[in-house]
Amino acid sequence: MEKAQYEKGIQQFTQMVGIESIDPLREQFKSLSPDFEKYVMGFVGGEIWSRSNLDLRTRSLCSIAILAALGRTNALELNIKMALNNGATKTEIIEVFFQVAIYAGFAAAWDGLVKADKVFKEIDAG
């Protein structure tokens, strides 16, 4: 992983999670595996999320759709938070779960809405 790409990714994620959350997030990844942090920042952030062709808000909504369909816990929670920073409204995030309901089932939508509700309440509580 090239240093420039890694730093580009950290910058990209900083914009999406907020300046106050980037270090705890990176520490969490590093504690699991330093190389995992390196790839999430450098490739997921520095290569994919920083591409053009699709705005960040749309990328966020598509990501939430994927993660709810597959039932991925940690990444779904993070992506709901990031979606708000990327310009999506709560209403739009909830709306994605209706597309999830028809194409991945009401059960996936339910699990996802419970997760979104938890994230929204944590944010409201500051």
Binding stretches for a copy of itself (CB under 8 A): 1-2, 5, 29, 31-33, 35-36, 39-40, 43-44, 47-48, 51, 53-54, 58-59, 61-76, 91-92, 94-111, 113-114, 116-117
As measured in angstroms, the least distance from the Cβ of 65 to a copy of itself is 4
User: Toward a copy of itself, which CB reaches closer, 14 or 88?
Assistant: 88
As measured in angstroms, the least distance from the Cβ of 21 to a copy of itself is 16
Question: Rounded CA gap, 82 and 18, in Å?
Answer: 8
As measured in angstroms, the least distance from the Cβ of 18 to a copy of itself is 19
Helices 90-104 and 73-85: crossing angle, nearest 10°? Answer: 140
As measured in angstroms, the least distance from the Cβ of 114 to a copy of itself is 6
User: Toward a copy of itself, which CB reaches closer, 53 or 126?
Assistant: 53
User: Toward a copy of itself, which CB reaches closer, 74 or 123?
Assistant: 74
